[in-house]
Amino acid sequence: MRKTACKLAAIALVVVLNGCATAAGGLIGGGVDRASGGDGSAGAMIGAGTGMMVDIFR
């Protein structure tokens, strides 16, 4: 049961990230900010803002 739930969650994440550049940009930007020693908020805001522009013009 748990294995199936994990597979479904992974598939849902791929669908959300492909369908919404805002969410993808926020997740990627936050991760990069955290990896570089920040708290994740600035990178998430920059990534989400960039993703919003992609969503608007796509």
First-to-last CA distance in the chain? 38
42 close to 31: Cβ distance less than 8 angstroms:
no
Residue 24 has a pLDDT of 82
Mean pLDDT of 4-21: 79
In whole numbers, what is the pLDDT of the chain averaged over residues?
Answer: 84
Residue 27 has a pLDDT of 83
pTM, full prediction? 0.63
Q: What is the pLDDT of residues 19-43, one digit of tens each?
A: 788 888 888 889 889 899 989 889 8
Mean pLDDT of 53-57: 84
Residue 1 has a pLDDT of 66
46 close to 30: Cβ distance less than 8 angstroms:
no
